[in-house]
Amino acid sequence: MKLVILAGGFGTRLGERTVEIPKPMVLVGGKPIIWHIMKIYSAYGINEFVICLGYKGEVIKDYFYNYRMRNNDFTVNLNDNSIVYHNFHNEEKWEITLVDTGLNTLKGGRLKRIEKYLDDDINLLTYGDGVADINITKLIGFHKSHNKILTISGVHPPARFGELIAEDKELISFEEKAQTSQGLINGGYMVFNKELLTYVSDDENCDLEIGAFDKLTKERKVAVYKTQGLWACMDHERDVKHLNKLWNNNEAFWKVW
């Protein structure tokens, strides 16, 4: 079972931050957010990843190609260019396949273009900008028990400007960036059977949500795993600051490793 990460978008809403790097490489606590996502899954035993690259994909390639150098102390012998590493990072089990799926390709096309790298019938899918405290083992078990092609995680999004709770005219509480109590959205932590790939094509205009997911929904082949756990995505500059604040204050709810 592998995790497919959709990491090819332009991330235009992050402004200057994504001029030089793609959104999945924006840092939280000194590490790219895509690293945080992979660490979540790895904590539940998922160590094989397929990353769908697009905009500035070479930055993500470079990061993982040079991962050992970036994350260990080492000595270089300039006489023979040999390298001795003095410590080891905690991601030795990771196996990462990085695939250029096109600059302008929509998500459905990206997923179809990595089909040959998927061996198992059931795999995982997520976006490259969202963190959560979802139990991945329970999510997979839920999917297997419902005989659906796709399972989507339904999460409560954080309130963009904080949530006010009042009784009559009196303010009872104010929570900055609180989870909203109304409605669910797709949190991006998904499980799918390989049959999903018959609903998409490698055409760059093939979308995933508007298209494949719509059709599967009409056919009643989508399950929703409802979670009360916390979730957040890196969509705007305020999200970057919020996630870094949580990390720096040891309040990172997604840190399960």
User: What is the three-state SS of 15-46?
Assistant: HHHHCCCCHHHCEECCEEHHHHHHHHHHCCCC
Higher pLDDT: 167 or 245? It is: 245
The 10s digit of each residue's pLDDT in 30-63 is: 999 999 999 999 999 999 999 999 999 999 999 9
Read off the pLDDT of each residue in 148-154 and give the average, rounded to a whole number.
95
pTM value surpassing 0.85: yes
Q: How many domains does the chain have?
A: 1
What is the structure's pLDDT at 241? 95
255 in a structural domain: no
At 66, phi and psi to the nearest 5?
-105, 20
Looking up residue 62, the CATH number of its domain turns out to be 3.90.550.10
Least confident of 90-99, 103-112, 168-177, 194-203: 168-177
Q: What domain range includes position 239?
A: 3-248
At position 205, the amino acid (one-letter code) is: N
What percentage of the chain has pLDDT greater than the value 90?
82
How confident is the model over 76-92, as a mean pLDDT? 93
In angstroms, rounded to a whole number, what is the distance separating the alpha carbons of residues 53 and 60?
8
Handedness of CA 104, 117, 150, 124 (dihedral sign): negative
Q: Determine the length of the chain.
A: 257
What is the pLDDT confidence band of residue 157, given thresholds at 50, 70 and 90?
A: confident
In a domain, 165, yes or no: yes
In a domain, 105, yes or no: yes
Residue 118 included in any domain: yes
227 assigned to some structural domain: yes
- Residue 256 domain flag: no
Q: For residue 186, which amino acid is it?
A: N
Structure tokens at 90: 């905690």
Is the alpha carbon torsion for 155, 96, 42, 247 positive or negative? negative
Summarize the confidence of residues 67-93 as an average pLDDT: 93
Q: Which of 77-91, 148-162, 218-232 has the lowest mean pLDDT?
A: 148-162
| Average pLDDT over the chain, rounded to an integer | 91
